[in-house]
Structure 1
Amino acid sequence: MHGIKRVVYTTEALEAKKKREQARMQEYLALNDAILTKKRNHEMTREAFDLTTKMLEINPEFYTVWNYRRNILTNALFPQTDKEGINALLSNDLALTTAALKAHPKVYGIWNHRRWCLANVPDGPGTAKDGDSNGWRQDYWNKELYLAERMLDADSRNFHAWNYRRYALENMPVSRPTMNEMDYTMQKIKSNFSNFSAWHHRSKVLPSLWESGQLQPSSSRETEFDLVRNAMYTDPNDQSVWMYHRWLVGSGDDRSLLEREIAAIQELLDAIQDEPDEGSDVKWCMESIVHYKRLLLRKHALHVDNHALTKDCLSLLEDLQKQDPARRQRYKDIGAHLIGAVPC
């Protein structure tokens, strides 16, 4: 690249580099053999534990070593110490996983070990509430929520961090107001409408607000429809928005809602087709109209024009085969099922 000085290695430098890499590989293989030998021999010693630390600092994706480490903690180290000692061991392991997540934010084994650590925090007072046996736990969970937020600041689509955020919220001894989560997801959605994980998190939070009475279902659902329609017009190609819309519509029991949303999507489809915008795709508009009209046919057959709806769906499915040839057979199968299901 322009402006970057090219480094030219001498033969001697290349040879030295090769020897260093070989030495590191030999050290890694020796460490691997030592750990697996101790594991096979069921060694539950501090020496074996320290070897797992060394390995996981090098390769935190080694799930077998995480399992071995947990076995040593559970069967050897925890029984040898008091609550304060267990707390210290778990704090060290959380620090180990924090360092690992910075370089490997989407490795299941690291997140799983973190959950295991939190599940094993003993009772004890912490800074959250002096004298409260939940104090340690509350301190930990507050930090976990902060960690999830920092991970999502780095990558707002990291579904591991979203899942962990929900896990932290569900397990905090002192619950956090759920309305805060609506504000948090809105912040992430406004910065990027195509953040599927943020929409998904929103779909998990809303039902709990409805059940607890913090939000009135019908009015808040209408607010969500306004939000998602705005997102549809902003980027009609974004799958995450359409999936959230389907979640809002639900199983199709409300015929007037289905008809209203079909009309709204048809309006968007017409606007795109009348004034083509470079890069705009009508696939999701068409797929959604077909999906909702099929719900009308399935749930409200006695109150709709079955043949007209089927004809509309078949026409859209033919267009979808041209728009999305990779899924041509899927659209053909849906059409064939529609033809076979039309009542005489």
Structure 2
Amino acid sequence: MSSASSDEELGTEYTFYRDKPDWKDIEPLSQDEDDPVVAIDYSPEFTDVFNYFRAIVSKGEKSERALILTKDAVKLNPANYTVWQYRREVLKELNKDLYEELCFIEAIIFKQPKNYQVWQHRRILVEWVNDPKYEKNVTKIAIEKDAKNYHAWQHRQWVIKRFNLYEDELNFVEKLIELDVRNNSAWNHRYFIINNSTGFTEDILRKEIDFTLENIRKATENESSWNYLRGLVLHNNQGLSGNKTITEFCESLYSSGNKSSFLLSLIVDICGEQASKGVVDADVKIERGRALCEELATKIDPIRKNYWRYIAENLENGIKTSGDSSKVL
């Protein structure tokens, strides 16, 4: 197994630590791989840097040269937890300017946006300086490059909750949904923001249901908005069947000829919920729900026919569909 070339990371003018006069007092410490079946073919630069890194760790040296060495080490392997941990120890020991470190890690993040360790390092630095002023912009840039970057979203949610930065966040996420209504991360973030700030009051629920239904109309096969709608109903004592806005929307969409599996699944749940509440025409609701399940099983989602028939058989028992047919086995 061959390691990537280090020339791009350390530069063509790289000087080996073994050739640096100010490192002559350190005996490099080689990695003991214990006779591996397939040895990793590390580049000479990688071997050089990490041999000296292991040496200073063993000595517990926390110096300016150790800080420079950790910088070279993370450039070669930004996923190495031990290097980042030791770098933090050196930063603290030397009382370094942590804002300079935030600039350094920002550059690493934009090169390694899905690397957990670089985001973790940044989070700890933000905790140390107790200052989140750069974080929304850093995560915004990362999200614009990749809207599904889990680490960027996680960092953004952490910093918002930790420093109470909810203001204007709904506008941010709404723009993302306008750009891509199927952005599941944006829908998840919208739920997170409301749930942790204002909460789902009656007024907010009404507005959110209207917002969600409007976006469902734009893309009726979009699983994200349907799941968000289901999440909203969890905060509504009326349930699905008791919310006239939702039931009328579903019936109107179904009457128009729409056969989205998400729509039919929701109507099945509405039928089951109505039956469980003991409405006068409960038997009719159950039969309708079963008919929709059969349609799903035979025409719309036949790969999960056993699941839909299971739901049909147990409709009167209040068993709900998952609302996410892609996750049903």
Q: In the alignment, residue 233 of structure 2 is paired with which amino acid?
A: V
State the shift of 1:67 in Å: 3.2
Give 1:102's match in structure 2, choosing from 100, 104, 110. Answer: 110
Residue number in structure 2 paired with 1:249: 233
State the shift of 1:93 in Å: 2.9
State the shift of 1:232 in Å: 0.9
1:324 aligns with 2:301: yes
Percent identity at matched positions? 22
Counterparts of 1:38 and 1:329 in 2: how far apart (Å)? 61
Residue number in structure 1 paired with 2:138: 147
Residue number in structure 2 paired with 1:169: 160
State the shift of 1:316 in Å: 1.9
CA contact 2:49–2:73 (8 Å) conserved in 1: yes
State the shift of 1:34 in Å: 4.2
1:184 aligns with 2:142: no
Change (3 A) 1:115 1:293: farther
CA contact 1:249–1:257 (8 Å) conserved in 2: no
- Tell me which stretches of 4 or more aligned residues in structure 1 moved more than 6 Å: none
1:63 aligns with 2:98: no
Give 1:120's match in structure 2, choosing from 109, 116, 128. Answer: 128
Change (3 A) 1:56 1:283: same
Residue number in structure 2 paired with 1:285: 263
Counterparts of 2:116 and 2:137 in 1: how far apart (Å)? 19
CA contact 1:35–1:51 (8 Å) conserved in 2: yes
Counterparts of 1:49 and 1:98 in 2: how far apart (Å)? 17
CA contact 1:252–1:292 (8 Å) conserved in 2: no
1:158 aligns with 2:149: yes
Spell out, residue by residue over 1:19-53, the C-alpha distance to the aligned partner (whole angstroms, 9 max, x if none). Answer: x9x997232244344435655x3634334443332
Residue number in structure 1 paired with 2:193: 205
Counterparts of 1:319 and 1:158 in 2: how far apart (Å)? 37
Between structures 1 and 2, the one with greater helix share: 1
Gaps of 5+ in 1: 1-19, 122-136, 274-280
Counterparts of 1:44 and 1:303 in 2: how far apart (Å)? 75
Q: In the alignment, residue 331 of structure 1 is paired with which amino acid?
A: W
**SS class of match (2:125):** helix
Gaps of 5+ in 2: 1-11, 13-39, 320-329
Give 2:250's match in structure 1, choosing from 258, 261, 265. Answer: 265
Residue number in structure 2 paired with 1:28: 46
Spell out, residue by residue over 1:212-240, the C-alpha distance to the aligned partner (whole angstroms, 9 max, x if none). Answer: xxxx9333322222221111111011111
CA contact 2:272–2:318 (8 Å) conserved in 1: no
1:313 aligns with 2:313: no
Residue number in structure 2 paired with 1:237: 221
Counterparts of 1:304 and 1:252 in 2: how far apart (Å)? 23
How many residues of Structure 1 are paired with residues of Structure 2 in the alignment?
A: 278
**SS class of match (1:120):** helix
TM-score by length of 1: 0.69
Spell out, residue by residue over 1:306-342, the C-alpha distance to the aligned partner (whole angstroms, 9 max, x if none). Answer: 3333322222222222422443343343334336669
1:333 aligns with 2:317: no
Q: In the alignment, residue 296 of structure 2 is paired with which amino acid?
A: L
Residue number in structure 1 paired with 2:72: 54
State the shift of 1:120 in Å: 1.7
State the shift of 1:146 in Å: 1.8
Counterparts of 1:220 and 1:243 in 2: how far apart (Å)? 17
CA contact 1:252–1:296 (8 Å) conserved in 2: no
Residue number in structure 1 paired with 2:326: none
Counterparts of 1:68 and 1:327 in 2: how far apart (Å)? 51
Q: In the alignment, residue 107 of structure 1 is paired with which amino acid?
A: N
**SS class of match (2:133):** helix
Counterparts of 1:304 and 1:192 in 2: how far apart (Å)? 43
The RMSD of aligned alpha carbons is 3.1
